[in-house]
Amino acid sequence: MKRMTILLLAAMLLLVSCGDAEVTPAESSMESAAESTAESSTESEVNNDTDMTPPAFVNASKGVLPGVSHEAGEEIDLLAGIEVMDNRTATEELVISISDDGGYDPAVPGVYTVTVSVCDSAGNETTATMEVTVRKVYEKITLTLGNEVTYKVNDTSALVYTSSGTSFRTADVIQVMDKEFFLTEYDAHKAEHTNNGTVPFFPNGVIAIVDENDLIVQVRIACGDTVQINSDGSVKTSGLSWTNALDATSGGGMFKGLAAELDSIIPNGGKLLFVGNPGSYTCRTFLIQSLFSSQYVSGALDLSGQDIHPIGGTLVLE
């Protein structure tokens, strides 16, 4: 009986001991550690200082960078002139690269869409596209006036307003004017052209601008379509500063904005030569054939038919 009582007391002590094990200090310590880890994790998330802001292209508009143009075979740095910035990474540490060259081949004429990427030190990346035009290489031309067509130099009647429109538009003659002469005549007669916002109206013709060395630096053609060939050889058909239509309020036509632009186009002087489309269009046809497409005959201009690169060509007056 005494032995049974001892065994029963031992069993009860053991049972109490196991019950206590369910709430041991060790488990309490583990729970505290888990809570501490959770709190630490939460605090880390609250104080997270990771850079999540990507860099930006300063000179891009809606993800598109300014286009680049060069002659076939010419090696250029496509990334030159691209400006970038970031909220944390210093500008000089931002990495700019071409992520997709769009098949670009500097030796093959064509228009390519190149994708440029910029990456900051945190790995954030931004991309933008850029149109690269590779131009055909043409032999430099010599534009000679005098044998095939008629021209006049510094004609004081050319920009006079008449009932038939600006005077020079009534004759199939190429007008050649020194820069300063043109500006003087333009100012003298612009007030007459109230039907076109005081801009001597000039549609459907050709303008060639040459520098002080008689080298062609810009060509404008309005013949169905409008096209401008700039000093870098790039061909622009939209977004032009001039138009081919009458505008009584703001002025229109091929002279629109030209007077203000001449100082940047030919800062050291030069000449303008221009012709409209009167009569048989002999002079306009001659200039289009000489400055843009040797295959042009008549009618609207075929922009894909360019086989002449006029920039850098020489003007000769006979």
Q: What pLDDT is stored for residue 48 in this prediction?
A: 52
User: What's residue 157's pLDDT?
Assistant: 96
Distances (CA, A) of 33 to 20, 23, 36, 44, 164: 20, 15, 5, 16, 96
Would you state the pLDDT for residue 266? Answer: 98
**Gap between the Cα atoms of 8 and 251, Å rounded:** 115
pTM of the model: 0.62
Determine the pLDDT at residue 41.
42
Hey, where are the domains in the chain? 56-135, 142-317
Long-range contacts of 260-263, Cβ-Cβ distance < 8 Å, separation of 24 or more: 262/179, 262/182, 262/183, 262/209
Each of the 318 residues of the chain gets a pLDDT tens digit; together they read 444 444 434 444 433 333 444 444 444 444 444 444 444 444 444 345 789 999 999 999 999 999 999 989 999 999 999 999 999 999 999 999 999 999 999 999 899 999 999 999 999 999 999 999 998 777 789 999 998 899 999 999 999 999 888 999 999 999 999 999 999 999 999 999 999 999 999 999 999 999 999 999 999 999 999 999 999 888 999 999 999 999 999 999 999 999 999 999 999 999 999 999 988 899 999 999 999 999 999 999 999 899 899 999 999 999
Give the residue carrying structure tokens 């005549």.
185
Please answer whether residues 312 and 213 qualify as being in contact, where contact means their C-beta atoms are separated by less than 8 angstroms: no
**CATH classification code of 56-135:** 2.60.40.10
